[in-house]
Amino acid sequence: MRILLTSGATREYIDAVRFLTNVSTGGTGAKIADALAARSHTVTLLRGECANAPATVSDVRTFSSTENLQTQLKQLLGSGDFDAVIQCAAISDYRPAELHHGKITSDAHELTLRLVPTPKLLPALKHYSPRPLTVIGFKLTAGAAEQERTLAVARLFAAGTVDAAIHNDMADLATGDARPFRAYLSNRQPPVDLAGLPALADWLHSFLTRTGLAPASKIR
């Protein structure tokens, strides 16, 4: 299958030298990209600036802000060349309301920053493609209780725009590649518990293969 995968953090600029971001390294996405390529999928990786790079995937592109990522997703998916998109990027929920030109002075005793929401990209992905597209979304929580985790995943399915969702929690990140993931096919079915990145890669490969979509190159 032809797969578009996103990873790493967005950068929402405050001025010419400062930006809002998050702790994502893009490591999970880079390793998934390599693992799927090793299983004979054709992978394009969109990674945040300074995010980890894959070891074997050669088609790698870079995004900066949420708006920039949105633009690239529209262009790539709009080509109709992809069978699936895996949205693993850690996208900022907010951006500065105004971009200051140049550098804000460091002499001020206090600085107020007003934030506004960024666009929600995941619900729009299927609409960007002129042909059927399998969409897998990732959801990260931070120290969430079981009910909170379940509700967070349910919100991904509520709009009807994802075919599967992968959840993990910040509390598990310290375990590295062995950290647990949960794979959901809906918010009404129990999730599949996956022990580590290799198990996640196996599940993604199996799920994408079961979708039965013909490669884009055969549809033309």
Residues of the chain above pLDDT 70, percent: 96
Task: Specify the range with the lowest mean pLDDT, choosing from 147-151, 171-175, 212-216.
Answer: 212-216
Kindly indicate the confidence band of residue 71, based on its pLDDT and cuts at 50, 70 and 90.
Answer: very high
For residue 4, the 8-state DSSP code is E
For residue 79, the 8-state DSSP code is T
d(CA 101, CA 89): 27
User: Looking up tokens 């996640």, which residue turns up?
Assistant: 200
Residue from 128, 143, 109 nearest 6 by CA: 128
d(CA 80, CA 101): 37
Task: Specify the range with the lowest mean pLDDT, choosing from 36-40, 56-60, 107-111.
Answer: 107-111
Kindly indicate the confidence band of residue 212, based on its pLDDT and cuts at 50, 70 and 90.
Answer: low
d(CA 148, CA 203): 24
Query: Would you state the pLDDT for residue 33?
Result: 98
Kindly indicate the confidence band of residue 217, based on its pLDDT and cuts at 50, 70 and 90.
Answer: very low
Where are the chain's structural domains? 2-99+116-213
Characterize the bridge pairing of strands 94-96 and 115-117: antiparallel
- Given the candidates 1.10.10.60, 3.30.420.40, 3.40.50.10300, 1.20.120.350, the CATH classification of the domain at 2-99+116-213 is 3.40.50.10300
Residue 220 clears pLDDT 70, i.e. is over it? no
Torsion sign over Cα 29, 34, 37, 38: negative
Characterize the bridge pairing of strands 192-195 and 180-184: antiparallel
Q: Please give the structure tokens belonging to residue 149.
A: 């985790």
